[in-house]
Structure 1
Amino acid sequence: MAKSTLCGFHSGCNCRSSRFDDFKRHPTPSTSSTPPDKQPWAPFKSQLEFEIAELALEACLNNEQTDRLIKFCNRCASRQEKITFQNHKDIRNMWDAVSHRVTGFTQDVISVSYNDTIQQFDLYYRDLWEWAANLLRDPRLFPHMVFDVQCLSKFNGETFIHFVDEPFTANTFWNVQSQLPPGGKPLAFILYADKTRLSLFGTARGYPVIARLANLPTDIRNGQGVGGSYVVGWLPIVKEDRDHASKPSWLNFKNAVWHESFVKILSSLASKSHTGQWFECLDNEQCIMSLIRGIKCLWPCPVCLVPHDELMNTLKCYPYQMSAQSQEVLQAAWSKQTAEEKEEKLKEYGLRDLINAFAAVMYTDVHDALSWDQLHFNGVAQVDKNYEAFPRWRNLKHLAQVMSISFADGSVYEDISKMVIHATHAILTKDECPLGYLLLRCIRLFLELDMYAALQVHTTETISAGRHAIQAFSTYLQQYIDKSANESDKNWNFPKLHMSLHIFNNVEAKGATRNYNTKPNEKMHGPLKDSYLLRTNFRDVAPQSIRHHISDLDEYESRDSEDSEDPDNADNDLVPSNDTDLPHVKLGSRQVEESFESIEDAHKEDIAFTNFRTKLNEFLTNFLLAIQLPLPGGNRVQLRASDKVITECRFFKVNYKSMVDWRQHTDYLQCSPKFYSRPCFNCVFIQTTDKVIFGRLLFLFECVVGDITLSLALVHPFDAPTGVQLQNDKHLNFYRIRARPRAQAEFFSV
């Protein structure tokens, strides 16, 4: 297996090929040799003072408690450090100063006219360029930055197939860098804004604008540490006016407020997008940075020119919108003689009477930037029956009922949709409920579409399969819409249904959907609300940055101390860890050693454990001969009933190479009679010399044979003949299995 890497012609990078196992996109040293800031706690007088302030605010101490803490610390202060705080105001004032210094938020006023009156709104925002420059200067992040487009292919045994995952492997990054002057490097921002209800907490008012840098790999960009999502502004909240709320002019006014706010937020990027910006990177090379963007938005279809009454028709494609075309429509509307004529012209294209804030940023087509979001697209039939008894699946939220839920967590609906087919297929049958059965088929096809959309690496083959999944889902959904028209007044003419048409166009243009879906941003809502409620400073949580710098300094000094003690190992921790050195499997949750007598007695009601010792002796003899290990004493294995050589294990960790993204992943399996108050015996696929067996773990254990300790499992195979495939199995894409008689449970080597 091999990969071919090709960069854009303006990057100056050459095509190269490498063995798949040796392929690396970018060097990722585990640590940096650059000394960190020696006083990362500034502007606090010392690290001790920072940690006292951090503790006081994290613990939500009131003023009296804070004063008591300060008095106590003054009495116990060390000779090297002295606390200078006198009361709680000193902490609050210093904390507020840190927020302004570290986060660089600016307060401004937005003025927008409505009905011949000027209304003003407070806006807090951060210099986007300065934030990006801080990331570029960070020695922990810079080695991971990617500034040149990459075109990647993987050899599948016959030919090279193109694949995309990160934004810098997709078409938009390629197209932008191709337009830049030689040596120009794209700096790509992903921006997100949502009306999360942060205004309910304290005096904080505003909708957060969250930024991420697309030049960083997804694992860092979507993570919660340094280099992850960052609040760069707060959009003003426009209070509803009952007298005007339903008028188009009021909607235009609210949009104008937010666009004016974005003009301010983007102001540091607008000029640089036309001229570029020279920046000396940590590798001492000067690069000229240009800028592209991405932001989430919805309006009938903000991507293509589908008529409003055709949104439910997902089998037909329409021409794509372009920002230049939108500007032409605005110019034509402004030339109309009356307000009614102008409004009619704008309605034809779903536009409002204002200039888009992103028009000032070069290489920007906001219609092309808008992307389908997996989190906010989940269809589900909610049926309570069978949910409470549903087997526990790892990484899924399990609910006892789903009919009356009062939350807005999209991931819960996603988990419900994954289970609904299994929980309801015996209830909504083709004969008893034809319409419900058709709905189940639609849900099944939607789950396949959702599966393809969620892939973290896409090849030309998966993109093609995903497009076919859209067509199949759309065809059956249209049948359901037609047949349910007389029984339901549901209006299927909504944008989120139509947006599925653009999923794989987005993938080709911007990489895998996890690059631009809202899940990483939604995870920030909880911490943001906590900071509102508990810290009083609504602009940002600056100490996070200080805490990371202090941790880096401690780690750096600790490493220096270890290196001075053992100079021969000074560079050991600079060598990246090799995942292939990790053990393939590991057993855990060990119980006490047991004899065969006690095991057979404990499971005397289970026919799978009948003649447990005899069967194991036979298996061990054949297994040791097969792997060419000596038999104990040269004779067949003859373990006795009283031998305490068995240690039951109830946990099983497996490291494996994923077929989805070709990276090492870890799975956790349970083989326990009581896991979260329920029995949990997971199923496994077992690769033998001639076939693959699917079965359930019954008993996981380590067995001592002479000087050898073997990890073994008793498995109940599910490979008995199932007969002719049923029609509903074909319709719902079920793969039906049947267990052998339980007495035919087999031993396998872990």
Structure 2
Amino acid sequence: MGDPPPPIIPAYILIEPHPKDVGNLPQRIPLDQSTGCDDTDTRSYATNWIDIAKPYAPWRTLADFEYTEGAVKGLLKSDLIDFQLKRIGGDWTEGRSKISLQNYREYRHALTCATTAGVQFHKGTAEAKIWGETRKYSFFYRNPWEWIKTLLQDPSLACHSNWKSRKMFYSEGDHTERFVNEPWTGNRWWEVDDELPQPNPFAHCWLPLHIWLDKGLVTKHVKMFPIVLRALWLPSEIRNASGNGGGVFIGFMVVVTDPGDPDDRTDAQNYEWAQFRREIYQQVLETIFAALYRPACTGETITCADNVTRVFYPGFLIESLDMEEAWNFTCCRAGRANFPCPRCLVRQGMLGCLQKRFPLRTTQTMRRVVQQAQRAATATRKEEMLRGTGLHDVIHFMWNFRFCDPYLSVTYDLLHAGEMGKWGHHLWELTLKILRDLKLSSEATRIMGEFPRWPNLKHINDLATKDFTDGQTHFDILKCIIFVLVQILPPGNSLIPCTRALLQFRMMAGLKVATESRINLIKAFIRSYEVCCERVHEEYGKNFNFPKQHALVHAVDDILDKGSLQHATTRMGEGTHQEVAQHYAATNFRDVDGQISTRDEEQEAVARTRLLVDEFNAQLAKQQGQEDDAHTREEAAQFGVRGTGRTIPKSKLPPVDADNQWIFGSPLRHGDSRSYEDLYAAGDPVFRNFDSRLRAFLHQQFPTEYLTYEDKIEIEIFRCVYVTYQSKDDWTLCEDILRCNDNWYNSGPRRDCVLYNSDKPGLAVARLRALVRCRLPSKRVVDLAVAREMKHSNWRPRTSWDGCFVFSEEADLSFLLMDYVIRGALLAPVRPHSSSRSQANLHFFVDVVDGDMFLRCLNAKKHVCY
């Protein structure tokens, strides 16, 4: 079973720099098993941190800093810190401690000195009049321009910064097409670079920012509203992380609490309250980002960490907001307005039309409407003008920023518009209702509980009995639910193709790289989804006329303009709520904004100092020649997977080649082929006639080995394998951990499946039954799997869907060289119908475990998708 991998057609990434990117020439980067689409400049720049005599300053000793670091991370209270320091300096150590801090006062003094080296918080105020009363609010914020300058002058980030846009192309054979991934590959950045001046003599560069705003619960009853800013000129793996160059907590938006019940107010009063909230909202944003206004309009000259002077223009490219915050941010009216979309002028009754285009909102047109409304002769005429575009009478803080448009920057959100929107609040609720009406809730829960386990896919045992609130769980349900519904709903049910069409769009829109062919498929999936929604509406009366449905209209433009939607999802900021909740728990629960701001400053101070200390130690070790010894390097080369640095436990039979795309783990038994057959053949079909079948297979694969009956074949059995493969999504290396265990965590057998190379058309799948390493008399080491082949079946469920693969598991066991394995695969069993036992070995192929698998299955279905 298995065939050699097909010949590799040379593939390249072509990079076309912007014409104003002086000095950079077009590049061609070959794609192989060790590269991907990361086009970041990898030049390195020397740092002078090694010259710092005390990288842990302002602390007197390294021990002082490390104690403070632990106390800050542990959110220790002042009385506990004081108690510990007094004991450490006294009875506990008898005066021999390296910690010189004596009490909390000294601890606080050193920490305060350290925080002053970073960008600190300031207090701002906002006020507006509502119903004859002036309401005032205070908030805390950082100066965003000061934070940006720390990034520009950070030596560790210099080699990762991208100052100019570029166009990226994927080329394979005679085929070439453009793709976008990072924001600097999108159309919008290229257009801004077109508008920027020519170098004179300094290069003029745009600094696009990603702003994230979301209100969340820090306790069951307390809401807070953090704002996070990210630098889009840094790669996503840096800006979306929590380390150096990652997103910064820039401040708090004011939570404007409604003093009454909206149902008790008139429409006019509700409008006044909404207007008031947006006025406060804009005042807060204007105060926070006031420092960016002058450099955004005229530019500011700064010498960066690479000793190159450039002129920078900060601006906003991506706004990650849920729908409510998008209305607040753009000063638009909410969902019941005549024109509820913050991006375009779509009428209320047309929100379900996904193939029609509507006039886009722009800074120029919206500002003109507000200015004309403010000059209207009567209040009635003013209201008519504002209602005609769904606006409030509020001046937007971003209208005077150069290269910024608050409406264009609102970006399709995979979380709130997708998993929590169209699926979680609409199709999923409809699904639950249908299951309850048909009395199938228990059956659906039982089938979902039997769904096979897979990494990064939640195993859900309480499908219909729990109210799920997080987006990731909803996404995991969306991935699995079709394999449940198809087995219990009546034939031809419209909900199944509708759910599948939405999932196809979500999988394709969530890829890290969007090529032209993938963009065309996204458009096709949106068309298919709209048709399916019409069928669901006819069958169940479901109304799809809501704003998050309409958001699909803008998804493709967002990808083309700003890069992959992965960079704009609000999911990446959800961890901020957890951090704020931890800080909140350490406060006295009064005037908490200031206390949380202080704790965030402290955490950044110790993180910054830790970076300096670690860099100092690394450079010092390098100078002194304290590198890993030869034995350690040899072990790393033998057991490490490229790019991971992981160490695999030693086995009796070590691999002959450390460069394989697989590594066996969890060794079980060691022996020879005949002893295994003698010991286990009676109870395990894997080892029946094992020795003779193994010799026949090895002779077929390696005829020059000349194995005789007397030759001993040494073998070792393993229970898992790490398979490295090149992702079809972004052409980078990924890894699957596959199990072949008779009793996995005492929950019964777990035997995962693999994709492998075959000369037969379509997907080739097999289920692992044993992982075997053989050492032949010639000392050749061979890794292979004993597996059951999964053959394509002509059987189809009562309601089929686009991309439905069904496999039948064969009874015979055969050998498969690990050289032919591509990656892991997930198959869900088909539950046999009471009148048909022929379904006992049938399985649905789950093609939505990740983007790579989705693309492989699309192309297996003859979709042309690069």
**Structure 1-normalised TM-score?**
0.89
Q: Is the 8 A contact 1:375 1:517 kept in 2?
A: yes
Aligned to 1:588: 665
Aligned to 2:720: 651
1:36-77 CA-partner distances (Å, limit 9, x unpaired): 655444444443223223333444545543232111221348
Q: Is the 8 A contact 2:219 2:581 kept in 1?
A: no
Please show how residues 229-628 of structure 1 align to structure 2 within 5 Å: 229-242=247-260, 246=265, 247-293=270-316, 294-295=318-319, 296=321, 297-299=325-327, 300-376=340-416, 377-378=418-419, 379=423, 380=428, 381-382=431-432, 383-430=444-491, 434=492, 437-485=493-541, 491-534=543-586, 537-539=595-597, 540-565=600-625, 579=643, 582-595=659-672, 596-598=674-676, 601-602=679-680, 604-625=682-703
Select the residue among 765, 780, 786 that pairs with 1:708.
780
Aligned to 1:219: 237
* Alpha-carbon distance, 1:336 to partner: 2.5
Aligned to 2:121: 105
2:207 matches 1:187: yes
1:202-258 CA-partner distances (Å, limit 9, x unpaired): 9xx841000100001111112222212210011112122116785111111111111
Q: Is the 8 A contact 1:715 1:748 kept in 2?
A: no
Structure 1 639/176 Cα, relative in aligned 2: closer, same or farther at 3 Å?
same
Structure 1 541/583 Cα, relative in aligned 2: closer, same or farther at 3 Å?
farther
Task: Give, as a single letter, the amino acid of the residue that structure 1 aligns with 2:570.
Answer: T
Structure 1 271/149 Cα, relative in aligned 2: closer, same or farther at 3 Å?
same
Structure 1 324/701 Cα, relative in aligned 2: closer, same or farther at 3 Å?
same
- Partner Cα separation in structure 1 for residue 397 and residue 365 of structure 2: 16
Unaligned runs of 5+ in 1: none
- Partner Cα separation in structure 2 for residue 62 and residue 548 of structure 1: 22
3-state DSSP class of the match of 2:155? coil
2:228 matches 1:150: no
Aligned to 2:790: 718
* Alpha-carbon distance, 1:695 to partner: 0.7
- Partner Cα separation in structure 2 for residue 235 and residue 468 of structure 1: 39
Aligned to 1:55: 70
* Alpha-carbon distance, 1:524 to partner: 2.4
Task: Give, as a single letter, the amino acid of the residue that structure 2 aligns with 1:695.
Answer: A
1:693-742 CA-partner distances (Å, limit 9, x unpaired): 311011012122222332111010012x623766733x3531111222x2
* Alpha-carbon distance, 1:261 to partner: 0.3
- Partner Cα separation in structure 1 for residue 691 and residue 628 of structure 2: 52
Q: Is the 8 A contact 1:259 1:356 kept in 2?
A: yes
Q: Is the 8 A contact 1:53 1:91 kept in 2?
A: yes
3-state DSSP class of the match of 2:126? strand
- Partner Cα separation in structure 2 for residue 499 and residue 152 of structure 1: 27
Aligned to 2:151: 135
Structure 1 620/452 Cα, relative in aligned 2: closer, same or farther at 3 Å?
same
2:45 matches 1:35: no
- Partner Cα separation in structure 1 for residue 579 and residue 681 of structure 2: 48
3-state DSSP class of the match of 1:523? helix
Aligned to 2:822: none
Which of 138-147 and 164-173 deviates more?
138-147
Aligned to 2:332: none
Q: Is the 8 A contact 2:49 2:612 kept in 1?
A: no
- Partner Cα separation in structure 1 for residue 84 and residue 626 of structure 2: 41
3-state DSSP class of the match of 1:278? strand
3-state DSSP class of the match of 1:368? coil
* Alpha-carbon distance, 1:608 to partner: 4.4
* Alpha-carbon distance, 1:199 to partner: 7.1
* Alpha-carbon distance, 1:541 to partner: 4.7
3-state DSSP class of the match of 2:259? coil
Structure 1 39/567 Cα, relative in aligned 2: closer, same or farther at 3 Å?
closer
- Partner Cα separation in structure 1 for residue 408 and residue 228 of structure 2: 20
Q: Is the 8 A contact 1:152 1:164 kept in 2?
A: yes
Q: Is the 8 A contact 1:102 1:542 kept in 2?
A: no
Which of 683-692 and 516-525 deviates more?
683-692
1:609-636 CA-partner distances (Å, limit 9, x unpaired): 42122111111222222xxxx52xx443
Aligned to 2:441: none
1:160-187 CA-partner distances (Å, limit 9, x unpaired): 2111100000000001111111121010
Structure 1 48/112 Cα, relative in aligned 2: closer, same or farther at 3 Å?
farther
Structure 1 63/538 Cα, relative in aligned 2: closer, same or farther at 3 Å?
closer
- Partner Cα separation in structure 1 for residue 59 and residue 129 of structure 2: 43
* Alpha-carbon distance, 1:550 to partner: 2.5
2:106 matches 1:83: no
Q: Is the 8 A contact 1:185 1:290 kept in 2?
A: yes
Task: Give, as a single letter, the amino acid of the residue that structure 1 aligns with 2:530.
Answer: S
Aligned to 2:30: 20
- Partner Cα separation in structure 2 for residue 621 and residue 262 of structure 1: 73
- Partner Cα separation in structure 2 for residue 337 and residue 243 of structure 1: 33
State, as a whole percentage, how many aligned pairs show the same letter: 23
Q: Is the 8 A contact 2:505 2:522 kept in 1?
A: yes
- Partner Cα separation in structure 1 for residue 261 and residue 757 of structure 2: 70
* Alpha-carbon distance, 1:116 to partner: 3.3
- Partner Cα separation in structure 1 for residue 664 and residue 65 of structure 2: 43
Q: Is the 8 A contact 2:41 2:161 kept in 1?
A: no
Q: Is the 8 A contact 2:726 2:733 kept in 1?
A: yes
> Once superposed, which parts of structure 1, at least 4 consecutive aligned residues long, lie more than 6 Å away?
77-80, 199-202, 566-569
Task: Give, as a single letter, the amino acid of the residue that structure 2 aligns with 1:518.
Answer: T
Q: Is the 8 A contact 2:486 2:798 kept in 1?
A: no
Task: Give, as a single letter, the amino acid of the residue that structure 1 aligns with 2:68.
Answer: A
Task: Give, as a single letter, the amino acid of the residue that structure 1 aligns with 2:118.
Answer: V
* Alpha-carbon distance, 1:200 to partner: 6.5
Q: Is the 8 A contact 1:128 1:268 kept in 2?
A: yes
* Alpha-carbon distance, 1:93 to partner: 6.2
Unaligned runs of 5+ in 2: 1-10, 328-339, 433-443, 589-594, 634-640, 645-657, 820-866
- Partner Cα separation in structure 2 for residue 79 and residue 606 of structure 1: 63
Task: Give, as a single letter, the amino acid of the residue that structure 2 aligns with 1:264.
Answer: T
Task: Give, as a single letter, the amino acid of the residue that structure 1 aligns with 2:278.
Answer: N
* Alpha-carbon distance, 1:373 to partner: 0.7
- Partner Cα separation in structure 2 for residue 273 and residue 354 of structure 1: 22
Q: Is the 8 A contact 2:180 2:515 kept in 1?
A: yes
* Alpha-carbon distance, 1:371 to partner: 0.6
3-state DSSP class of the match of 1:357? coil
Q: Is the 8 A contact 1:621 1:637 kept in 2?
A: no
3-state DSSP class of the match of 2:302? strand
Q: Is the 8 A contact 2:115 2:605 kept in 1?
A: no
Q: Is the 8 A contact 2:662 2:722 kept in 1?
A: yes
Which of 606-615 and 15-24 deviates more?
15-24
* Alpha-carbon distance, 1:552 to partner: 3.8
* Alpha-carbon distance, 1:589 to partner: 0.5
Structure 1 724/410 Cα, relative in aligned 2: closer, same or farther at 3 Å?
closer
